[in-house]
Structure 1
Amino acid sequence: MQLSDLKQLKIAVVGAGYGGAAAAKALSLLGAHVDVYEQASRIREVGAGIGLRPATMNRFREWGIFDAVARVSSPSDYFEILSADATPIMSESWPGMDDYAERTRTHLIHRGDFIEALLGVLPEGMVTLGHKLEGIEDKGDHAVLAFANGTTAEADLVVGADGIKSVVRKLLFSEKEPVFSGEHAYRAVISLDDAEGMAADDNLRMYIGRGTKIYLLPLRHRGQVSFDITALCPDGTWAPEVTKDDLLATVQGFDERLVALTRGLDMDTVNIRAVYDIDPVDTWHTDSVVLVGDAAHSMLHHQGQGANSAIEDAGALADALRAADTLPEALAAFQATRKPVTDELQRISRAGWSEAGIDDVFPGQKPGSPGHVAAPAVPAAGKE
């Protein structure tokens, strides 16, 4: 689209999470007028740590916000997969580090620091809180949003970045409900001093065994470690009630240091949730509305690609708007670019990880040998 057209474009972003904040930044750099509407009265990101891949960090460099994110994260060179008893299975440098003019490493960051960094680079007044979307009317060349507080907003383009339970998706694209994975995720942040010496560097480690996966993601810039247990459980309650004994049962047979970390957790600080994703959505856009991030392709966290995919969506949407002649053409190009990638990531993320199954996916990679743990044809595995 011509620069003059982009500057006249009025965009409404629904949701101020990773995808919404990133989309707002990328689209505002085109010169468009962007407003972000968030249902929460304050932004509070719970959970623990995530890894921002080289492609994501390069997007931040393109947008001029690399330093803002780097200041609150730790650069990482590689990740490892180990058995429950800490026997090495695979080790790999993060793919993509040398794909850019400047070497770009994966950065490990706390979820709260990440969303604060993203929102902190948006112009003052761009984000409006306390606006819960209740209705959307697609009029072809524009759309009208209706909020629970009685206000409305019109935009040439509405970006639905409202997460796995997306109202935009449900009203315009798909009424399919989120799908329970049969797993729980238990996440906490602990002091580096309490990590049993298991976080001596800035690299992610995943321990797998008996249907349980334990992720240790150092946040050494904070003096902390992100500790994540993902375990099989039939209870699909969104926020299940879980005891310390329940957690200890999931790590039975693991390295004693990991058991000790679990035993030492303060349950009041553990974020507990059932793990859900969505089935692939056939269509992400109309002529004036488009889905991004979890609203379009929520995926399980086993490949560590949820937040990274949302950032890539934001960049690809901005690229498509810049390159296409019209808004509908841009949205079609965006979906054509991103959907095949995220469909595959959703599929592979559902496959998960198991010690027994690694050799089926990566023939010849025996325990203790170096090897590539990247999912075929998509960015590599790791913690999201």
Structure 2
Amino acid sequence: MRATQRIAIVGGGLGGAAAAASLQQAGFEVNIYEQAAQFTRQGAGIHMGPNVLKIFRRQGIEKQLEAMGSHPDFWFSRDADGEYLSRIPLGEFARKEYGAAYLTVHRGDLHALQMTAIAPNSVHMGKHLLSLDESGDDVLLTFADGSTARADIVIGADGINSRVREHLLGAEAPTYSGWVGHRALIPAEKLAQYDFNFEDCVKWWSSDRHLMVYYTTGKRDEYYFVSGVPQAQWEGGDASFVDCSREAMYEAFTGYHPTVQALIANADSITKWPLLNRQPLPVWSRGRMVLLGDACHPMKPHMAQGAAMAIEDGAMLARCLQETGLSDYSTAFRLYEANRKDRASRVQAVSNANTWLRTQEDPAWVYGYELFDHPLKTEVPA
């Protein structure tokens, strides 16, 4: 046996970064291979609940994240006319009831912070994976730039179009869900002209669409919206997103409250992207390869828990590998799936149904989850 055992993570997004930090903290040698040439501050916000903040606490970045994010006291749901449908307490309530803060933040800012928790020189950019060859005692990774790497196990954290998933289960394109999302960032100063209450975290609903709105910084200088809108066909071909006109956005939210109209009016740039689905996978791992996050259980973003599930996956996988040791990776992979599948599948189903917090409900099963205190299920099929 080699003195050093190596883990390769394909994909350096939020899930891959979280997995690397947890695994390195557990003492494993980890390298991330990311196909992008560089990371950028992409124009998207994200929710981070107490279930994730407790993982970041162990990784040493909880306080820094709290300092950069916005801390809503409530998740409000309103109908298109502005009437409240629910008021879900967060803020100090979340700290007391769930054990950590609830915040919203810019995705790029969060990702940059995650990079500080990873060992220097362990992230390799511009590595587009071409092939995987499991030769018995390790895996050979070959990249488009001609370089190669070897690892004892490979973790596929490379999203809904995962090459690792493709290697395990064959090529199969995801299916279009019949829904699109719109995104825009708005400088908060542009909204000062209105006598509206631009709440910290509010989801506007009607029978078949919604608009989620929140601040992405603690300074509250950047307001973000993301929609879910039915659309029979995706017009963008293979593009991951297309530009959307303000006029098309108005049409999608005709009749909504003037607050929503003001947001659309002040969005300088709106993008639209297709929401994609996959059927539940028959396996999460095979041989020396294992999947996490959107590579494993993609979901619509309607519950604001997709990235959280990927981060939880990474932490649980690290916990299971620490339990068994890397030499018994097959048992670790079975433990991981046994301890993640029910929760991830439940979140996936609720998220895809788009019912989360529309009415007054108790979110404790999501936000109060204690990944490291949760006893491991040990009865796993061989």
C-alpha separation between the residues in 1 aligned to 2:345 and 2:187? 37
8 Å contact kept, 2:75–2:201: yes
Give the aligned partner of residue 246 of structure 2. 244
Confirm or deny that 1:44 pairs with 2:50. Answer: no
- Deviations along 1:265-310, whole A, 9 cap, x unmatched? 21xx323211113221121112311111111111100111111011
Q: Percent identity?
A: 28
Shift of 1:161: 0.6
Cα 1:89–1:12, aligned 2, differ >3 Å: closer, same or farther?
A: same
Offset at 1:23?
A: 0.8
| 1:111 aligns to 2:113 (yes or no) | no
CA distance in 2 between partners of 1:344 and 1:170 (Å): 24
Find the aligned partners of 1:214 and 1:244 in 2 and give their Cα distance: 15
1:332 equivalenced with 2:334 (yes/no): yes
Counterpart secondary structure, 1:71: helix
Match of 1:61 in 2: 57
Contact 1:208 1:353 (8 Å CA) reproduced: no
Give the Å deviation of 1:75: 2.6
Residues 233 and 144 from structure 1, CA distance in 2 versus in 1: closer, same or farther, beyond 3 angstroms? same
Q: Which amino acid aligns with 1:113?
A: D
Distance 1:199 1:329, change over 3 A: farther
Return 5+ residue gaps in structure 1 as ranges.
359-364, 366-370
CA 1:150–1:180: 2 relative to 1, 3 Å? same
Q: 1:44 to 1:24 in 2, by over 3 A?
A: same
Matched residue, 1:361:
none
Determine whether 1:87 maps to 2:83: yes
Per-residue deviation at 1:220? 4.5
Q: Given residue 170 of structure 1, which amino acid in structure 2 is its aligned partner?
A: E
Give a deviation string over 1:85-128, Cα, whole Å, max 9, x none.
1100011124964456xx41112110110111111222221111
- Name the CA distance, whole Å, in 2 between partners of 1:104 and 1:188: 28
SS of the residue 2:81 aligns to: coil
Question: Which deviates more from structure 2 when the two are superposed, residues 318-327 or residues 147-156?
Answer: 318-327
Structure 2 vs 1, CA of residues 140 and 76 (structure 1 numbering), >3 Å: closer, same or farther? farther
User: TM-score, length-normalised on structure 2?
Assistant: 0.87
Could you tell me which of 227, 230, 242 is aligned with 2:228?
230
What's the offset of the Cα at 1:78? 2.4
Tell me the equivalent position of 1:162.
158
Selected match of 1:15 from 5, 11, 15:
11
CA contact (8 A) 1:47 1:271 kept: no
> Could you say which residue in structure 2 is the equivalent of 1:254?
256
- 2-side partners of 1:174 and 1:308: how far apart? 27
String of CA shifts for 1:25-67, please: whole Å, max 9, x gaps.
1111111111111111111252321110101000010122212
When the two structures are superposed, what TM-score results if normalisation uses the length of structure 1?
0.86
**C-alpha deviation, 1:139, in angstroms:** 3.0
Which SS does the other structure have where 1:159 is aligned?
strand
Q: Report the counterpart of residue 127 of structure 1 in structure 2.
A: 123
Choose 130-139 or 318-327, whichever is displaced more: 318-327
One-letter code aligned to 1:161: A
Structure 1 stretch displaced more, 34-43 or 187-196? 187-196
* Aligned: 1:149 with 2:138: no
Which stretch shifts more, 31-40 or 238-247? 238-247
Check 1:263–1:179 CA distance in 2 against 1; reply closer, same or farther (3 A cut): same
* Farther-moved stretch of structure 1 (49-58 vs 223-232): 223-232
What residue in structure 1 maps to residue 350 of structure 2?
A: 348
Whether the aligned pair in 2 keeps the contact of 1:141 and 1:287 (CA below 8 Å) is no
Residues 7/264 of structure 1: CA separation in 2 closer, same or farther (3 Å cut): farther
Match of 1:274 in 2: 274
- Conservation of the 8 A alpha-carbon contact between 1:209 and 1:354: no
Q: Segments of 4+ in structure 1 off by > 6 A?
A: none
Equivalent position amino acid for 1:321 in 2: L
Contact 1:235 1:274 in 2 (8 A): no
**Mapped partners of 2:58, 2:2: distance in 1:** 18
Residues 158 and 295, structure 2, Cα contact 8 Å, conserved in 1: yes
Q: Distance in 1 between matches of 2:262 and 2:48?
A: 28
The 1:136/1:354 distance shift into structure 2, 3 A limit, reads closer
Distance 1:198 1:144, change over 3 A: farther
Displacement after TM superposition at 1:225 (Å)? 1.0
Q: Give the alignment of 1:180-329 within 5 angstroms.
A: 180-195=176-191, 196=194, 203-222=200-219, 223-236=221-234, 237=236, 238-266=240-268, 269-324=269-324, 326-329=328-331
Cα distance in 1 between the residues matched to 2:100 and 2:3: 32
Query: For the structure 1 residues 233 and 354, does the alpha-carbon distance in structure 2 shift closer, same or farther, using more than 3 Å as the test?
Result: farther
- Secondary structure of the residue aligned to 1:297 is coil
State the secondary structure of the residue aligned to 2:287: coil
Partner Cα distance (2:195, 2:148) in 1 = 54
Answer yes or no: is the 8 Å Cα contact 2:8–2:30 preserved in 1. Answer: yes
Gap runs ≥5 in structure 2: 369-382
Tell me if 1:77 matches 2:79.
no
Contact 1:6 1:30 in 2 (8 A): no
8 Å CA contact 2:244–2:271 kept in 1: the answer is: no
Deviation of 1:241 (Å): 4.9
The 2-side partners of 1:301 and 1:262 are apart by 20
Q: What is the rounded CA distance, in whole Å, between the counterparts of 1:198 and 1:296 in structure 2?
A: 41
Task: Check 1:215–1:138 CA distance in 2 against 1; reply closer, same or farther (3 A cut).
Answer: same
Q: Aligned partners of 1:180, 1:373: CA distance in 2, in Å?
A: 31
